Amino acid sequence: YLSLGSNHMKIIICGAGQVGWQIARHLANENNDVTIVDRDSDLVRRATDSLDVQGIVGFASYPDILARAGAVDADMIIAATHSDEVNMVTCQVAHSAFNIPRKIARLRAKSYLDAIYSDLYRRDHMPIDVVISPESEVADAVLQRLETPAAFDTEFFLDGSLQMLGITLDDTCPVLNTPLRQLSDLFSTLSAVVVAVRRAGTLFVPSSGDQLYSNDSCYIFVKKSDVQRSLEVFGKITKNQERAVIVGAGNVGFTVAKELEGKGSHIRAKVIEKDRLIAENAAEALEKTIVLHGDGLSSEILLEANIEHSDAVLAVTDDDKTNLLVSIRAKSMGSALAICLVNDPSMVPLLQAMGIDAYINPRSTTVSSILRHIRHGRVRDVYSVGDAEAEVIEAQVLSTSTIAGQTIRDIKFPDGVRIGAVRKGTNVHKPAGSLRIEEGDQVVLFALSDTVKEVENLLQVTIDFF
């Protein structure tokens, strides 16, 4: 453990693309000493101009470049370049030449991830402490969306006992124009807490006197056991998903199809893939799934896949615009639900207007999973909301924290912060004003990005990383 005195770490991030940049932003905000390495001088300049980080231009796997980046006394290296091989060699060099204690690599190729070879990443072979696989993380996110089709965003906290749902309200929602405090009285046994609302493009944390309107997108925390009932309270009728059409048989599409075949799922999928070779490989490897070779944008192929009778279309090619257009066309042809893979976060505000039900941003999924591995023991989980507009923070309450021993109503939270749940032992509690927060409790907080620093001060975190 790092002592209380040295609360910042020295971290090298290799790859200054979206993922590297976002991670650098988080870690630099927490007063760590961050150096970012990339062979593209424009990307490095973008990082050093906009973030409080050092930049080195060069190949991340070269020992002399790592030395210039401060590898001699670095605490951690995160290899997130576009090449699996560069990421692996970077970790090997970091270990063998500089003995950097903690190494995280992003690996994409399925072959490197297969369980048979998991022995590969032991210290005496290829020393990587944490392997992050964007495709399997994203495939999990897609499957999670399918399980909660009424939500546009969803994530689990407190070891799976608490679920965050993003729900867009429509005119059928029975609780419109009702102050939130009355909701608590009306549904006293329901664990649902509305922590944030996006209205006309702006994300805000509501107060107890605020009301919900049609077209609001709400973020709600709810105990896993209450999810179905909460969805009904907010006007979402859920039906079982049975037929899905997956467009794109690349890593993500293939992984999702394979999972749907495997885990006793009742969902039958058809896959559409434009590239003949990829389609043939997928058809060979999948047992019960029909693979169609053709362009997911063409109405003929969508008709052949029975799009009008499908419960969901999953547009997961590696091209954002294709995914958006496929989703719109599939919806117009009768598909009940469209889930879309979007890499560019600036596209996200357009989705609702286009009638796309749910999206997955692979980068924020990857960023969340990397942050989860490097956050301190006290902050157990961090999930990024929207275009990095807010964070959900799951943390343990330390004795040094100013909130320990206080009731929720006495804690001076900044505007823009709301408690979603408190776990004492194994019991998850809905936050009520009279609930007292004690040392050792776990809290889940929703915080708009500009309040995160204050939250960290209240919780007294960013101290011991591992």
Residue 41 phi, psi (nearest 5): -65, -30
pLDDT tens per residue, range 18-29: 889 989 988 887
Least Cα distance to 315 among 325, 305, 301, 303 occurs for 325
Average pLDDT over residues 197-218: 92
Mean pLDDT on 157-175: 91
Please report which confidence band the pLDDT of residue 345 belongs to, taking 50, 70 and 90 as the band edges.
confident
Does the pLDDT at position 312 exceed 50? yes
**pLDDT tens-digit map of 222-245:** 998 899 889 988 988 777 788 999
Q: Indicate the burial class of 6 (C-beta count within 10 angstroms; 0-12, 13-18, 19 or more).
A: exposed
Alpha helices (H) in 106-193, listed in sequence order: 110-113, 134-147, 180-186
pLDDT score, position 466: 28
275-295 mean pLDDT: 95
Surface-to-core class of residue 341, CB atoms within 10 Å of its CB (0-12 exposed, 13-18 middle, 19+ buried): buried
Position 465 confidence tier, pLDDT thresholds 50, 70, 90: very low
Q: What's residue 117's pLDDT?
A: 57
pTM: 0.73
| CA–CA distance, 202 with 195 (Å, rounded to integer) | 14
Per cent of the chain over pLDDT 70 is 94
- The average pLDDT across 407-429 equals 93
What letters, b where the CB count within 10 A reaches 16 and e where it falls short, cover 93-127? bbbeebebebbbbbbbeeebbeeeeeeebeeeebb
Q: What are phi and psi of 422, to 5 degrees?
A: -130, 130
Render 188-217 in DSSP notation, one character per residue. TT---EEEEEEETTEEEPPPTT----TT-E
Q: What is the mean pLDDT of residues 328-357?
A: 88
**pLDDT value at 37 more than 70:** yes
pLDDT at 7: 56
Instruction: Answer with the residue of higher pLDDT: 84 or 113.
Output: 84
Report the range of poorest mean pLDDT among 2-6, 200-204, 268-272. Answer: 2-6
Cross-strand partners of 382: 393
389 vs 371: CA distance, rounded Å: 16
Q: Residue 71's pLDDT is what? A: 96
Q: Determine the Cα–Cα distance for residues 231 and 220; give it in Å rounded to an integer.
A: 10
Residue 319, C-beta contacts closer than 8 angstroms, at least 6 positions apart: none
Asked if residue 2 has pLDDT above 70, the reply is no
Whether the pLDDT of residue 462 is over 70: the answer is: no
pLDDT band at 271 (very low <50, low <70, confident <90, very high): very high
